[in-house]
Every structure is written in structure tokens, then in C-alpha cells.
Amino acid sequence: MKFHKEGWPSLLIVLVFSALVIFIAHYFFPQFFIAKLFAYALSGFLTLTILQFFRSPTRQFTQGDRLIIAPADGKVVVIEETEEAEYFKGKRLQVSIFMSPINVHVNRYPIAGHVKFFKYHPGKFLAAWEPKSSTDNERTTVVVAHKNGQEILFRQIAGALARRIVWYCKEGDVAEQCGEMGFIKFGSRVDLFLPIGTQLNVKIGDVVKGSQSVLGEF
């Protein structure tokens, strides 16, 4: 189990805050055991929360030329045909994965290919399960073109708690299937827009793991 590099600033803030809280408890309330206990309990809770959230477990990747692999951990909350208006401007099969604060929040490429399109959108911070979060929230749009000509679009979408999306890709980059492409801090969501007719291996309510669960096949 590794600690993700995106977590170091948050961990530093929590450690400084914890040291301050413990100092206040000892300096201003030396006679109050409850104050010291609260300070240590709060510090421990916050530190463990950050360590848990930014964990990056070592995994055996599931890969295959015709496979579409889950780009994130979480629960499948949407499967529907919809109009994708930003890039395809046509019908696509949408699959959405909701990432709760207890999930691993590393985001990975679902297929191999090259990054054909990328755009960052500043926006709101609606709850990630809200339908409008896909178009109104802070988000990125990434399109990966497979060697067979198929294109898959996926979006990192910030949630009510998430305030920062991190990405490591740009147009023209080589996308390695299951390779790390970004991170979303705290609760969030990833939407995929697949070709109509894609054979899905998941249903609404399924819990998937990024880089391991097969969402479907071309």
C-alpha cells in the first residue's frame, strides 16, 4: 500500500493543525484530561482519514485489446443512452461511477490509444449523484482514440466535497490502458461515454475497481 503523491499537502496541513491543537490542549488546559484526550483523538482521526483517502494500493491490472476497464473505484449509478454534446454531438452509451470518500480516488485510462481531446472546465460543486453535475460541475473531458478507430470519452467530475481535480494528460499523449491519468480529491464521479452497441459487463448498483473491473467490450 502506497501513499499517493497528491496527498502530501493535505497530510502536512493536518499534521500542522494537529500539532497546534495538541499544543493548545497542553498549554491552556493542562488540568483537563478531557481536553487532551479530545486533541489526540481529533488529530488521530484526521490523520487516519487523510492516510485512508490518499492510499494507492498496488494492483494486478486487467488488460485486453477489446476490453474497457473501469477508470475508477466506486459504484455504477448510471447506465443509459444519452446525447453527448461537447465532443461527439450525438448518441452515446453513458456509464457513470460514483466515488465515495472511502474509495481509492486514482483515475486510470480505460483503454489504450492516444489522447485525442482534452479540456478542463471550471464549475460548480453539486453533489456528484446529481444529473447536472456532469455538465455544471468542475470537470475534465478526455477522449482516447483506440487503434481500431473507436473513441471513448470520459470525464472526471468534482463532487460536493471535491474541490480539486488533478490530471496528468494532454492532447497527443499515449494512453496506456490502466495507466494513471489523474486524481480527484474527496467525493466525486467519473462518466464514460461509449459507442452505442458496446457490450456491457456491469449493471446499475455494481461495485467496480479501477484498473481491475471490466465494464464492457468493443
Task: Give the pLDDT of residue 158.
Answer: 83
Task: Give the pLDDT of residue 31.
Answer: 86
Q: Are 59 and 73 in contact (CB under 8 A)?
A: no
**How open is the CA angle 23-26-30, to the nearest 5 degrees?**
160
61 lies in a domain? no
Task: Give the pLDDT of residue 187.
Answer: 64
Task: Give the pLDDT of residue 170.
Answer: 94
Q: Indicate if 73 and 48 belong to the same structural domain.
A: no
120 lies in a domain? yes
> What is the rounded (10 degree) CA torsion for 196, 199, 203, 209?
-110
CATH number for the domain spanning 85: value is: 2.70.70.10
7 lies in a domain? yes
Q: Indicate if 197 and 90 belong to the same structural domain.
A: yes
The C-alpha atoms of residue 188 and residue 125 are separated, in whole angstroms, by 10
> Which among 133, 188, 211, 213 is annotated as catalytic?
188
Q: Indicate if 133 and 212 belong to the same structural domain.
A: yes
Strands (E), the chain: 2-3, 55-56, 67-69, 74-84, 90-99, 106-108, 113-121, 139-145, 151-158, 165-167, 174-175, 180-184, 188-194, 199-200, 207-208, 214-217
62 lies in a domain? no
| 111: nearest Cα among 68, 59, 80, 174 | 68
Q: Indicate if 181 and 73 belong to the same structural domain.
A: yes
CB-CB neighbours of 107 under 10 Å: 29
Q: Indicate if 76 and 117 belong to the same structural domain.
A: yes
Amino acid letter, 69: I
Q: Is 188 annotated as catalytic?
A: yes
Q: Indicate if 109 and 47 belong to the same structural domain.
A: no
The C-alpha atoms of residue 61 and residue 59 are separated, in whole angstroms, by 6
Task: Give the pLDDT of residue 132.
Answer: 59
Structural domain count of the chain: 2
Range of the domain at 92: 67-217
Q: Indicate if 192 and 108 belong to the same structural domain.
A: yes
Q: Indicate if 33 and 99 belong to the same structural domain.
A: no
Q: Indicate if 89 and 43 belong to the same structural domain.
A: no
The C-alpha atoms of residue 199 and residue 102 are separated, in whole angstroms, by 29
Q: Indicate if 159 and 105 belong to the same structural domain.
A: yes
Averages of pLDDT over each 10 residues, the chain, 218 residues: 89 96 91 91 94 90 94 95 94 94 92 96 66 71 94 87 80 96 85 95 96 94
Any residues with CB less than 8 A from the CB of 38 and at least 6 apart, and which? Answer: 25
